[in-house]
Amino acid sequence: MTVQIKTIDLEPKRQTFGHVARRLGGDKPASRYQEATFDLQPTDHFHYRPLWEPQFNLYDPRKTEVVMRDWYALLDPRQYYYGAYNIARANMNQAVERNFTFVEERDLFARADESLKAKLVTGLLPVRHLHWGANMNMTEICQRGYGTAVTAPSIFSAGDHLGMAQIISRIGLVIDAHTGTSLGAAKAAWMTAPAWQGARQLIEDTLVERDWFHLFVAQALGVNAVLLDLVYARADAAFGPVAIPVAMLTEFMADWAAEEGKWTDQVIRTAAAESAENAALVSGWARYWIDRAEAAGTTLSVLLVGDESAAVAAAAAARARAARLGLTL
């Protein structure tokens, strides 16, 4: 008996969804990112206006002063959709776990005396509260923003900040032998220590900003580019003999900052290039929040490195970055 195996090629009737095909200019194969992004947000047939904001539709481009002909022009250069994002973060988290295992097995924080541990508690651990505020900001941008191209990566970013807050909390548990006392002391420092009050006031002020693109600029060029850059990239020497273990345990933050910056830069650059009005608006917001972040970071810089140099350098880098995005400061 012989068995003949034949194969046939089945030509799909359509290469992608109709709304994606219209974006691509024809029925062409689309990437998963394109199919998970283009025109997914509802635009018509809402049942009611929000009772808490009856002047707007549920999804409404008027929730920001920035005006775009097409909000789906603000694409993510990383091309993150749910699957790709989770795969990328799972890989990064594996590195986090390896680094924590390495540091704990070798007890690398044992070389820190009590005064250095106290500096870690008051100078590094309170940043977890800054990440929590950033998490709330990015969640707010997701729920008020317009277009899946922006709202989807915003909620991914919110998850990133929550994860980074947890990493900082784990560092505290390593320092205090898993008693949790360092986290209580860090919260007290966040609430009362003079070095942190500028950063706390800044993040609390962002929490009440209703224009979502304004909030996006404040988070990207103020909080991320100045305050987080100050702590993670410009204060290494502050932790002396445990600077390397700290750098290992915060490696995720360094990798995240470089990757997140590609997306936020693209969004701001595209919006500013849309019109002179947009460029003026975004430039004014960037100028305001970078200035505020620099002022808020000065006392923190003094705590960490002994002078204001870290805050000045972080703000200068943020201004140079804004200029590269087409903003006028």
pLDDT at 5: 82
Q: Mean pLDDT over residues 213-231, rounded?
A: 98
Tokens of 242: 């445990």
Distance, in Å, from the CA atom of 65 to the CA atom of 306, rounded to the nearest integer, reads 41
Q: Mean pLDDT over residues 281-286, rounded?
A: 98
Residue 287, number of CB atoms within 10 A of its CB: 17
* Angle 132-134-138 from CA coordinates, rounded to 5°: 120
pLDDT at 33: 93
pLDDT at 26: 84
| Residue 118: burial class (beta carbons within 10 Å; 0-12, 13-18, 19+) | middle
List b or e across 218-241, with b for residues whose CB sees 16 or more CB atoms inside 10 angstroms. Answer: bbbbbbbbbbbbbbbbbbbebbee
pLDDT at 12: 80
The proportion of the chain whose per-residue pLDDT surpasses 70, expressed as a percent, equals: 100
Quickly state the pLDDT bin for 4 (edges 50, 70, 90).
confident
pLDDT at 295: 97
The structural domains of the chain, ordered by start, are: 79-324 (1.10.620.20)
Q: Mean pLDDT over residues 288-314, rounded?
A: 96
Is the pLDDT reported for residue 176 higher than 80?
A: yes
Distance, in Å, from the CA atom of 18 to the CA atom of 33, rounded to the nearest integer, reads 15
Average pLDDT, the chain: 94
pLDDT at 7: 83
Of 169 and 236, the one with more pLDDT: 169
Distance, in Å, from the CA atom of 259 to the CA atom of 78, rounded to the nearest integer, reads 8
Quickly state the pLDDT bin for 3 (edges 50, 70, 90).
confident
Quickly state the pLDDT bin for 25 (edges 50, 70, 90).
confident
Is the pLDDT reported for residue 1 higher than 80?
A: no
| Tens of pLDDT, residues 56-97 | 998 999 999 999 999 999 999 999 999 999 999 999 999 999
pLDDT at 111: 85
Is the pLDDT reported for residue 235 higher than 80?
A: yes
Q: Using alpha carbons, list the distances in angstroms from residue 63 to 39, 144, 257.
A: 18, 7, 27
Q: Mean pLDDT over residues 249-267, rounded?
A: 97
Q: What are phi and psi for residue 50, nearest 5 degrees? A: -60, 130
Is the pLDDT reported for residue 222 higher than 90?
A: yes
pLDDT at 74: 96
List b or e across 289-321, with b for residues whose CB sees 16 or more CB atoms inside 10 angstroms. Answer: bbbbbbebbbbbbbbbbeebebbbbbbebbbeb
pLDDT at 311: 97
Intra-chain end-to-end CA distance of the chain, in Å: 82
**Which is it for the CA torsion 210, 214, 220, 226, positive or negative?**
negative
| Tens of pLDDT, residues 96-134 | 999 999 999 999 998 889 999 999 999 999 999 999 999
Is the pLDDT reported for residue 301 higher than 70?
A: yes
Is the pLDDT reported for residue 2 higher than 80?
A: no
